[in-house]
Amino acid sequence: MSTAILTGQPVPGSSIEGDLRSLGFDVRIATDASDAETILAQAPGDQRVAVVDARFVGHVHALRLGLTDPRFPLAAVPGAVTAQPAGRQALTRAVARENSAGGGTVVAVDSLADRIVTALDDDGADVHRPELGSLVAEVPADPQARNEARQSVAAVDDEAVRLKSAVKSRDGFFTTFCISPYSRYLARWCARRGLTPNQVTTASLLTALIAAGCAATGTRGGFIAAGVLLLASFVLDCTDGQLARYSLQYSTLGAWLDATFDRAKEYAYYAGLALGAARGGDDVWALALGAMVLQTCRHVVDFSFNEANHDATANTSPTAALSDKLDSVGWTVWVRRMIVLPIGERWAMIAVLTAATTPRITFYALLIGCAFAATYTTAGRVLRSLTRKAQRTDRAAQALADLADSGPLASLVGRVTRARIGAPLLVALAGTAVLAVSLFSGVTWAPVVGAVVYTITAGQALYRPLKGTLDWLVPPLLRAAEYGTVLVLAAQADVNGALPAAFGLVGAVAYHHYDTVYRIRGNAGAPPAWLVRAVGGHEGRTLLVTVLAAALSASQFKVALTVLAVAVAVVVLLESIRFWVSSGAPAVHDEGEPA
């Protein structure tokens, strides 16, 4: 159990002890700073400890935000400070300093907790201070101030604030107005029954998989059930994040589930639609794979741009200023959020079209909508990059290189070739263009030659840091080249099962790329080099697929794609699961990617 050290003069009628116990703390009373230091030393080192002023007046949720969020080693609100095991040493030093400076006593006017926070700041410790908004957290100095603070507490509905803060401040139109108004109450219902966000996330996944199974039946009743269940899955998908924010239940395992299950649910549903269409005599596997390729590449554009500008200096541009101006007009905000087809709007469209039309029409609408959204967002980011005067950092360049996912062949080319062809983006564009032309040439071994050229240009594109104005386009370009190669060659094989096998291969590789993104966002670095080598890198896989297509018959190529898909999936999943359930994995939650 966590330990809360209550310091200072107790206040008659104060609820602070009960509030702390309701938050899971074992409350210990310290008569002075020396006593507080003693209790701190006795508290188990593997548990959270907090120092709280006995005169604290405020909302319970303010204490919850300040003292129980598991994501931060050190955190504080006025009158209270807490440390997890990772921040325990810094807190111990600060308490010892204040004890020494105060001669072992607590000055009645001052708050020991606040003085400890000041000492932590002086030591350069990173102390998280949550945004409290209308919530109250004070240490009144006299009875009149205490009464005023209590009146302020009574004037604000603690539970209403907690429910409101459980919902993302920035979300899509459909999610904001059609889901969150009631899903927040579902999140509270789950919290009161002891359910965890991970359990709700798993329920969302299972619901989506059942929806995919219904779609795979190919019947009208199955399609209607699939649409309804897909919307139910999305409600649960919103609920898990709201439950995590409502009850502050963040975990590394939850981060992994949250970061990957959305894509797994959506792409499994695509596969279910394709299977259902096949039962009705309509082969839409190429459309399903195209939708997955487009959606994944679109996400990589978002991730690459954000990483390239994560810590850029002089991060301004006329385009960004125009965007901010448009955001000041209410209706334009929602229009702009809707036209990028975020997950809420996209899943609602898929669900309605599944129930009312056919899988082919559903995929046509999805491809058109995602293509427009991708064009709109990419064009805006290109304009921002061209008009922005920014100096990109080494960290940004390294993140882009990691997102590129280049394997041993590209690395070898980069080491042995001395002539530098040109700018990274232009080189990558040239290699991708050669590969694209070779795929449609009609000559059996032409794609292999194109893949060799692509491999050489991929190595050349990364010979120097990706700090150019548009170098953030290199990773999504490489993704499009690899995924597109698998799609085209599987379609050209023209044999039953080739496109489903290609769907599985692209899905496994896309998982690896999403996994890379979330590790980088969590400041945990890219996947280990051995993993990238084991799965070949983007250029190695592209070259291998072209060789297999040229050397094998269509039926053999289908089998080879299936084997490759299984091998890649097993390797990347096992390593990913090991990482995300380890104690060193970052608690990353998908709060900022509405797509």
**Per-residue model confidence as pLDDT tens digits over 195-211:** 999 999 999 999 999 99
pLDDT at 318 over 90: no
Give Dmax over CA atoms of the chain in angstroms: 89
143-170: b or e for each residue (b if 16 or more CB lie within 10 Å)? eeebeebbebbeeeebeebbbebbbbee
CA 289 to chain CA mean position, Å? 23
Phi, psi of 469 (to 5 degrees): -55, -45
Separation of alpha carbons 110 and 431, rounded Å = 67
- The average pLDDT across 356-367 equals 98
Q: For 280-358, where are the alpha helices, taking DSSP H only?
A: 285-308, 318-327, 330-339, 343-356
Q: What angle do CA 175, 228, 278 make, to 5 degrees?
A: 120
pLDDT at 233 over 90: yes
Phi, psi of 179 (to 5 degrees): -115, -55
CA 17 to chain CA mean position, Å? 37
Q: Is 13 exposed, middle or buried (0-12, 13-18, 19+ CB in 10 A)?
A: exposed
pLDDT at 322 over 60: no
pLDDT at 145 over 80: yes
Q: 240 with 253: CB under 8 angstroms? A: no
Any idea of the CA torsion for 379, 380, 384, 386, to the nearest 10 degrees?
A: 20
Band (108; pLDDT cuts 50, 70, 90): very low
- The average pLDDT across 130-140 equals 94
pLDDT at 1: 83
pLDDT at 200: 96
* Closest by Cα among 507, 542, 505, 548 to 406: 542
pLDDT at 260: 84
Q: 52 with 7: CB under 8 angstroms? A: yes
pLDDT at 156: 96
Name, of 13-27, 245-259, 297-311, 515-529, the range with top average pLDDT: 13-27
Separation of alpha carbons 172 and 593, rounded Å = 10
pLDDT at 188: 97
Bridge partners, 82 (sequence order): 50, 75
Band (419; pLDDT cuts 50, 70, 90): low
Q: Which of 80-94, 252-266, 344-358, 497-511 has the lowest mean pLDDT?
A: 252-266
pLDDT at 3 over 80: yes
CB under 8 Å to 298, separation ≥6 — which residues? 370, 373, 374, 377, 378, 595
Tokens matching residue 214? 């219904």
- The average pLDDT across 526-552 equals 96
Tokens matching residue 340? 């990028």
Angstrom distances, CA of residue 248 to CA of 64, 128, 541, 586 = 8, 14, 41, 16
Any idea of the CA torsion for 515, 516, 522, 526, to the nearest 10 degrees?
A: 140
- The average pLDDT across 141-162 equals 94
Q: What is the average pLDDT score of the chain?
A: 91
Angstrom distances, CA of residue 142 to CA of 57, 158, 273 = 12, 24, 67
pLDDT at 416: 83
